[in-house]
Amino acid sequence: MIVFVSGAVRSGKSEIAEACAIRLASVGRIHYIAAAPADDEEMAGRIRRHQERRAATAARWVVWEVPFSSRGLAASLRADDVVLLDCLTTWWAAELFVGDDWKMMKTADEAARRLLDEVRAWAGRCRAVVVVSNELFSGGVPDDEGTFRYMKTLGWLHQQLVAAAGAAAVVECGLLRVKKGRWPQ
């Protein structure tokens, strides 16, 4: 099963997704894909807060920091495990950008399909994959081609993941609004 959680930056979606992953992995491990690097003090503080939330159940969490081997993750999954990807927008940016340069501008669509296939493959090997991602386009369409391509392919990924998801929700101001399916209890 895929569970998709989106919302604005700082909406509370990560905390809600973590709680969902804990419920879903009642006896299994939770493979946490940490997609954000601690490249400044603000992000380092956010990462520490995420780690503190997981501290009480630390033995159940297997942390995979981006970049990581998706094959290694797939091979280690058991049927009762859950994967939590937090967050797709950050991971996708790391896939496409190096600094201010594009790594794969011409192959962004192909890379998006590969990423989608990986998430689907994980979902086929474990109990659930919980994907966290930021909402985009609410601030308008960017002028530069690179950012637009990033947002366009991410929007396509969102649509594909929600289509494959058993449950999809939006988080606003810490409140969960289920848009598809039944939220895992």
**Catalytic site residue 50?**
yes
Q: How many other C-beta atoms are found inside a 10 Å radius of the C-beta of residue 158?
A: 20
11 assigned to a ligand binding site: yes
35 assigned to a ligand binding site: yes
36 assigned to a ligand binding site: yes
133 assigned to a ligand binding site: no
Which residues are registered as beta bridge partners of 2? Answer: 129
**Pair 162, 52: CB distance under 8 Å:** no
The active-site residue out of 50, 120, 125, 149 is: 50
9 assigned to a ligand binding site: yes
Which residues are registered as beta bridge partners of 84? Answer: 32, 130
H or E element at residue 22:
helix 13-24
Going by their DSSP bridges, the two strands 30-34 and 101-102 should be labelled as: unpaired
139 assigned to a ligand binding site: no
10 assigned to a ligand binding site: yes
65 assigned to a ligand binding site: yes
Going by their DSSP bridges, the two strands 175-181 and 167-172 should be labelled as: antiparallel
**Pair 78, 27: CB distance under 8 Å:** no
140 assigned to a ligand binding site: no
Q: Which residues are annotated as a binding site for GTP?
A: 7-14, 34-36, 65, 86
Q: Annotated binding site, which residues? A: 7-14, 34-36, 65, 86
Q: Indicate which residues carry an active-site annotation.
A: 50
